[in-house]
Amino acid sequence: MKNSILLTALSIFIIVFCSYKIITKQLEQPAINKKIKTNKPSPKFHVLALYENGGHHILYSKRAKIWLDKLAADSNFSIDYIIKTDSINDDYLAKYQLFIQLDYAPYAWTGAASAAFQKYIEKGKGGWIGFHHATLLGEFDGYQMWNWFSNFMGGIRYENYIATFVDAKVNVEDINNPCMKNVPKSFIIKKEEWYTYNKSPRPNVHTIASVDESTYTPDSKIKMGDHPVIWTNEKVAAKNIYIFMGHSPDLFDNDAYTTIFRNAIFWAAKK
């Protein structure tokens, strides 16, 4: 009888003990998973993207965000997005190694944002990539032209654009520029507006690529002759590159365009 009771008690003990081990293991599993997640490497660098959240460029902005988010996840860098300049000041920009002006015009910025951005560029506190609308320089919506930004872009003023859109060939002039790595010497850009300015920025910037206006399809009378579309201002401390093309979301189906964009990010983010 005693042996039977002991065997029964032992059996109960074994069952309870095994159940306890199983439950404990299950409870510990989330903690292990959490520990694994927190061991993810810190981002290589931090990017701020100021983008347009409406108007003609909203579709481009949406497509750009999808592409950028994937690149950031695959390449281990962080990216934050803002749609206005209210939060920008010296301390805010100090958190970022790269500022992307993603189809955002150089006017209607707050005074603090303008001053902080100018310091960021002139003192080389981080890199800059500007697209398309960044050269919409002039008097718009009741705002005066930002003269410092005009000089940063080569002393130009926006003059006209091809509202009907045309395809054209872009020729790479500086094939040794890091942003042109693995980019063909010429490539086609479809359905672009091709801004014209009051003068070519070439004398005041380093031209990386230009559009061949003779290849406009269909042809357009809106031309400026010497027509740079990718350039960098080597007179400031910050690594910087302006890429005119940035209207159509279809640009992210263009291998040459995405290669330039990707190269520009990793080049400009490094001091």
Query: What is the pLDDT at residue 190?
Result: 96
pLDDT of the chain, 271 residues: tens digit per residue = 445 554 454 455 555 445 545 444 554 454 444 444 556 789 999 999 999 887 778 899 999 999 999 999 999 999 999 999 999 999 999 999 999 999 999 999 999 999 999 999 999 999 999 999 999 999 999 999 999 999 999 999 999 999 999 999 999 999 999 999 999 999 999 999 999 999 999 999 999 999 999 999 999 999 999 999 999 999 999 999 999 999 999 999 999 999 999 999 999 999 6
In the three-class reduction of DSSP (H, G, I as helix; E, B as strand; rest coil), residue 219 is classed as coil
188 membership: H or E segment, kind and range = strand 186-192
Q: Residue 62 corresponds to which tokens in the numbers above?
A: 């949406």
How far, in Å, CA of 4 to CA of 159, rounded? Answer: 100
Q: What are phi and psi of 99, to 5 degrees?
A: -115, 120
Q: Specify the pTM.
A: 0.85
Nearest to 47 by CA among 232, 264, 265: 265
CA atoms 81, 72, 271, 258: torsion sign: negative
Residue 261: the pLDDT is 98
- Among residues 255, 237, 175, 234, the alpha carbon closest in space to that of 208 is found at 175
Residue 244: what are its φ and ψ, rounded to 5°? -60, -45
* Sequence-distant (≥ 6) Cβ neighbours of residue 156 within 8 angstroms: 135, 137, 150, 197, 198, 199, 200, 201
* Residue 209 region by backbone torsions, left for phi larger than 0, else alpha for psi between -120 and 50, else beta: beta
Q: What residues are paired with 143 via a beta bridge?
A: 140
Spatial strand order in the sheet of 240-243: 78-82, 46-51, 98-102, 127-131, 240-243, 228-232, 206-217, 166-172, 186-192
In the DSSP assignment, the letter for residue 144 is: P
